[in-house]
A and B are shown apart, each in its own frame.
Chain A
Amino acid sequence: MTSTLAPVRTRPRPASASPRRRPGAARARQRRLVAALFLGPAVVYLLLFYGYPVVQNVVMGFQHYTISTFFTGQAPWAGLDNYREVVGSPLFRTALLNTVVFTVGSIAGQFALGLGIALFFRRRFPLSGFLRSLILLPWLIPLIAASAVWKWLLDTESGAINRVLVGTGLVDTGVPWLSSTSLALVTVIAVNVWIGIPFNAVILHGGLQGIPDELYEAGALDGATGRRAFRHITWPMLRPVVTVVLVLGVVYTLKVLDIILGLTGGGPANATQTLATQSYQLSFATFDFGQGAAVSNILIVISLVFAAVYLRLNRRAVDE
């Protein structure tokens, strides 16, 4: 079969061979047409799979979109009702605060540990390649499976973690990791940090590889070694990668849903309720899709604002 496909002959180009010269305008038009043909599928794809859902979600936020809508097709216009209802609910403030704490805590933990691990693995030592690939493990496990196992490990009475703590006499009774309102959010953040470390470590490690050794050699001559080398060479060179890691990290973390649902379901007493879980519960537990869409729109705006502010700050820093 391959033989019939193989020789792709380069045909003589008629345009250059032809003595007749086309006017430049026609050629430009033709080039634009070709460009449009190449762009077309991508644009259609984007509009269909990204544009339409976003627009639909924004519209849904202004509608009384409930179970009935699926059968009757009617979604009466609600104006700002959904937003008023959602923002006025006592749950919203809790969820917003939890979202901020969860995001900041997760990103800080993931980034610090990820950077530490990336720096560590810059050195070569026996088994470093093997150990580096082990770091990827949390990334390879389905999130639902990971959260189910963590839920076991963290159980107050029978969880392995508490068994060890009680067994070694560090605590008298099991720590209520997931059932205490003051601890649950911290625990969920810790699990999310564990999940996020591979992403941060891998990207930052890649960034570190891109810094030429000559810089360190030159820096060493000027007395920049150890911590000073990190401050004056590694960090400035790593900045673009750091930007990417942080922006992506924040966007990923804002929308984290499966881990929280798997570990606590937003409880106890809404202690781990975030905007993402609230949106999910409004849409898929109470089936008020209008209010669910309103919360997720608020979440999208927060994501966008953060990304915009961060990129702007970063650009200014580069310009200076």
Chain B
Amino acid sequence: MGHRCASTTREGPPPAAPWYDRPVSRRAVTTAGLVAPLAALLAGCGSTGATGPRTLRVLDTYTNDPDRTIIGGALAAAAAEVGVTLERVSVAGDSLIQRVLQQGSSGTLPDILMLDNPDLQQIASTTALRPFDALGIPTDGYTDGVTAAGTYEGRVYGLAPTVNTVALFYDVPALEAAGIEPPTTWSALREAAAALTRGDRYGIAFCGNATYEGTWQYLPFFWSNGADERDIASPEAAGALDLLAGLVRQGHASTSVLNWSQADVKDQFVAGRAAMMVNGPWQIPELSGVEGLEYDVVTLPTRDPATQAAVAPLGGEVWTVPATGDRAKERLAAQVLTRFLADDSILSMAEQRFTVPGRHALTDAFLERRPEMAAFADLLGDARARTAQLGPDWPATATALYTAVQLALSGQVSAADALREAGEYA
């Protein structure tokens, strides 16, 4: 019986028959059985909303180390300066929005919330977030991409301390053995992929799966070739898609790219089954730990570098203050985020996580500490936010884009037809 342990150290003269020595009736047992879970349930419900006035609840998706510890450290430092304690919960990335919706409908949103940047405008459009100007969080100095991703209807609702994008990773010895330079044009990329395909090893690996990851990896080619997400059935978009489809068609990339996530792509590269890969800097900590792997990173090639600049899609997580209705706590949360987004805090996170600061002014200091990140820092200066043009309507187009990628890479239809067909989904 759970309640027996309660009063064994009672003081004073013991009563003749303490309650716990009295015979337990069947009704008492039944009542306890019914009441205990109910009480536990109510207590559980209460605890989510009832934290102390100087305790803030934080929700993010950094479930794995090293990110979990690095972000946790930066949050803890900011909280210590403001003089609050944090109650932090990290959930898996793909369940974050569902969690936020649950909390929104039950009025239990956290005081500080992390969101993936393409989701911000959609969530902001629901009135769930507080604008930064009303809270006094500084919004100056961020790159255009970060500001665009964090802005909804002219007001900033979230900002990213550090950002990332994708680039071309390559196996240095493999390219040396084949006597080729890292490709800078699409035709050089095709030739390099062909020359590097040998036995078990494909020339290149990338992610073309049926999720937003597939869209994300197609975007740099799509944008650098001059395509626009407001009209995806364009010759420019088809040219970019045909580059990827051609790599699979010629057998220089595996047909499995249709199923691979970006993590799978990294595994293929590490296992030596791909000589080049499209991936992001968040893989660097793991790649650096692989013995005998010698790799380097360059900007993704463009079709014609003389007239086209590489365009990086902006990746990264933005931090927001949900509208919980508790004005005092919203102010405290704003103070914590202000501190969290200060120069030294951003630089420390950027250095440890191999991500690039979201503010221009910090780039030089960052490159002093992480010179190997030069390729990414260059790209991210004018990285493009996925939601810059379409705002909350982006998910529909993102779905159409990965559908087109899947249709074209599986060889069902030509790249142009794939985009036209997929456009019907948007």
Contact = CB atoms under 8 A, between A and B. Distances in A.
12 contacts: A67-B101, A70-B102, A70-B126, A156-B255, A157-B273, A178-B259, A179-B259, A179-B410, A180-B255, A268-B258, A268-B410, A285-B395
A265 interface: yes
A67 B123 contact: yes
Interface string A175-194: 01011110000000000000
Contact of A179 (B24, B255, B395, B412): B255
A286 B98 CA distance: 11
A89 B425 CA distance: 7
A176 B411 CA distance: 13
B259 A268 contact: yes
A266 interface: yes
Contacts of A4: 23-25
Contacts of B102: 70
Interface in A143-164: 151, 155-158
Interface residues of A, number: 34
B211 A157 contact: no
B399 interface: yes
Contacts of A89: 424-425
B10 interface: no
B210 A70 contact: no
Interface in B389-416: 395-396, 399, 403, 406-407, 409-412
Given A68-B125, A90-B421, A269 B259 contact: no
B11 interface: no
Interface string A250-274: 0000000000000011111111000
B104 A71 contact: yes
B209 interface: yes
A91 B412 CA distance: 15
Interface residues of B, number: 41
A268 B259 CA distance: 7
B126 A5 contact: no
A155 B260 CA distance: 10
With most chain B CB atoms within 10 A of its CB, the pick from A70, A180, A268 is A268
A269 B399 CA distance: 12
B254 interface: yes
A176 B255 contact: yes
A142 to B, nearest CB: 16
A89 B70 CA distance: 45
B345 interface: no
Nearest to B23: A4
A306 to B, nearest CB: 28
A157 B97 contact: no
Given A91-B425, A158-B273, A269 B406 contact: yes
A140 interface: no
A179 B209 CA distance: 10
A72 interface: yes
User: Mostly helix, strand, loop or mixed at chain A's interface?
Assistant: loop
A67 B25 contact: no
Given A178-B259, A268-B259, A269-B406, A157 B200 contact: yes
B122 interface: yes
A267 B211 CA distance: 9
A179 B409 CA distance: 10
A1 interface: yes
A270 B403 contact: yes
Contacts, number: 103
Closest 4 CB pairs of A and B: A267-B210, A269-B406, A268-B258, A4-B23
Contacts of B407: 269
Given A72-B126, A179-B254, 17 more contacts: A67-B126, A70-B105, A90-B425, A157-B254, A157-B256, A158-B273, A180-B410, A181-B410, A264-B210, A264-B259, A265-B209, A268-B210, A269-B403, A269-B409, A284-B98, A285-B211, A287-B97
Given A181-B412, A284-B98, A267 B122 contact: no
A267 B23 contact: no
Interface of A: 1, 4-5, 67-68, 70-73, 89-91, 151, 155-158, 176, 178-181, 264-271, 284-287
Contacts of B406: 267-270
Contacts of A90: 421, 424-425
B26 interface: yes
B127 interface: yes
Nearest to B129: A71
Nearest to A66: B126
A91 B403 CA distance: 11
B58 interface: no
Nearest to A284: B98
Contacts of B101: 67, 70, 287
B412 A286 contact: no
Contact of A265 (B25, B126, B210, B395): B210
Nearest to A4: B23
A265 B94 CA distance: 13
B211 A265 contact: yes
B128 interface: yes
A32 B271 CA distance: 73
Contacts of B24: 1, 4
Contact of B396 (A67, A270, A286): A286
Contacts of A287: 97, 101, 122, 395
Given A71-B105, A178-B259, A1 B128 contact: no
Nearest to A1: B24
Contacts of B410: 179-181, 268-269, 271
Contacts of B421: 90
Contacts of B209: 265, 267
A4 B25 CA distance: 7
A63 B406 CA distance: 31
Nearest to B255: A179
A44 B407 CA distance: 49
A67 B412 CA distance: 34
A264 B256 CA distance: 11
B211 A286 contact: no
Residue among B257, B273, B407 with most chain A CB within 10 A: B407
A270 B210 CA distance: 8
